[in-house]
A and B are shown apart, each in its own frame.
Chain A
Amino acid sequence: MKFNTKWTLGALTVAALLAGCAAAPNVAEVKALTDKIVKASFQSKGIAKVDRVLNIDETNLACAEADVAGKPLDEKTAKAIEEMNLKAVKWPSDGKFIGDWKKGEAVAQSGRGLTWSDNEKTVNGGNCYNCHQISKQEISYGTIGPSLYNYGKLRGITDPNSAASKPIVEYTWGKIWNSKAYNACSNMPRAGHAGILNESQVRDIMALLLDPKSPVNQ
């Protein structure tokens, strides 16, 4: 009750200051109360620990703030976030970017992993089909992300290991590893950066998108 009175008074002060404007609660107070509520409202369950809502990184904090405000990040902040995320991209340790598209298809299909009903042994999926069209054969695909059908073909990739393909191949690796390296507030998870997928799984998704033999490029 004490806490209730405190912020009621706060809201009244704001109302007085705005002198007749429809009083929306003070932003700083809303933020402080939200933090307090988040701390009190979530509990660790299985592998989903509370640090997932208590230790949110700079990228997510800035993007959420922009979402609440309903306008995109200013260009300078967006660039800084992209640079920071690009620096964090881990490139393939053996220089090999392309794996097995068949394994990649399985990774793209799976939406498993990292919920509180999964465990440490769950093999994480890429969740790719949840948001993207990929191969033409799979008709159950989501539309939050753009279609990736013919991804390599449309970009003229005939040999993903050639020097000419390098810029596209590197961009694609970077995008899967850390989507925020190219679009600060992308809706796409940072599959490699966040440890959702390992290097070999990313390599296989690369093949799904870029191998001319993959159904994606037929």
Chain B
Amino acid sequence: MKKLSSLTIAASLMLSVAPVWAQKSASQSIDEYREMLQDGNPADLFVAKGEDVWKQKRGPKGASLEKCDLGKGPGVVKGAFTELPRFFADTGRVQDLESRLVTCMETLQGFNAAEIAKTGFDKGEQKNVTALAAWISSESQGMRFNLPQSHAQEKMFYEVGKRLFFQRGGPHDFSCASCHGEEGKRIRLQDLPNLTKNPGDGIGFAAWPAYRVSNGSMWGMQQRLNDCYRQQRFPEPVFGSDATIALGVYLGVNAKGAKSIAPAIKR
């Protein structure tokens, strides 16, 4: 932390004396700040909790999640994350990691899925869903995204996700593409990944779940999309809704080959 504060001071000194340089320095120091935080990513705490929650006997049925099928067979966790969202025959739906976890919590443990979907982020069982997502993603760290596109519904969801990505609306006429449709753009000093293609290892889809320093909390992809839509001035996407899942398919398929760094740490 000492290192961090001296860097902050150095950065602010540079800002005041060398405005021409300042831009690069500010953006560089943000990168360095992230790098330093990477040494002790608070996401690790959620990873540890998630593994516990997975193994614990919980819910009305007093069962663990160890038989949950995340797409690679009951109980297989490693490599599951980088192939989600995908089609599940038992529910007849394309599901992302979080909605699939809620399905397992209902079928194996007897929780009420609709009730969990209605619960706010960072509250009640949603906290456990986020921790589980953090742990499950960590088990695929370093693996490359490779979403299946063989089922007709997976193909369909990619196309729907693409339309949603370009859907303009709300008072500001924003779409996802307004910010994420071009290379090398920024909002203020924040670099924006181009999500219409593979934006690179550990960028965009390959970085969530992530610990958000600015909010001091762990976010899954569902919450990330929820906040995008908030800033886009859209109404709220329902947790686990098909719109969020179709967008996940579009982003995930576009990210094919990108190395996952989830759970990452973000500003």
Contact = CB atoms under 8 A, between A and B. Distances in A.
A75 B242 CA distance: 35
Interface stretch (A61-69, A100-108, A154-162, A166-174): A61-69
B216 interface: no
A45 B185 CA distance: 30
Contacts of B188: 129-130, 140-142
Contacts, number: 159
Nearest to B162: A68
Contacts of B22: 139
Nearest to B159: A30
Contacts of B160: 30, 33-34, 37
Interface in B139-175: 152-153, 155-156, 159-160, 162-164, 166-175
Nearest to B15: A139
A63 B181 CA distance: 14
A105 B169 CA distance: 27
Interface in B10-24: 15, 19, 22-23
A188 B178 CA distance: 9
Given A129-B188, A144-B187, A38 B173 contact: no
- Looking at chain A, what size class is its interface with the partner chain? 35 or more
- Looking at chain B, what size class is its interface with the partner chain? 35 or more
A56 B169 contact: yes
B241 A40 contact: yes
Contacts of A34: 160, 163-164, 246
B233 A63 contact: no
B186 interface: yes
30 contacts: A4-B153, A11-B156, A12-B152, A29-B156, A34-B160, A34-B246, A37-B246, A40-B242, A42-B236, A44-B235, A45-B235, A48-B170, A48-B234, A50-B235, A52-B170, A52-B235, A63-B168, A68-B162, A114-B171, A127-B172, A129-B188, A139-B15, A139-B19, A141-B188, A142-B187, A143-B184, A144-B187, A189-B174, A194-B171, A195-B171
Given A23-B155, A41-B243, A114-B233, 9 more contacts: A7-B152, A25-B159, A33-B160, A48-B236, A56-B169, A60-B169, A67-B175, A115-B231, A130-B188
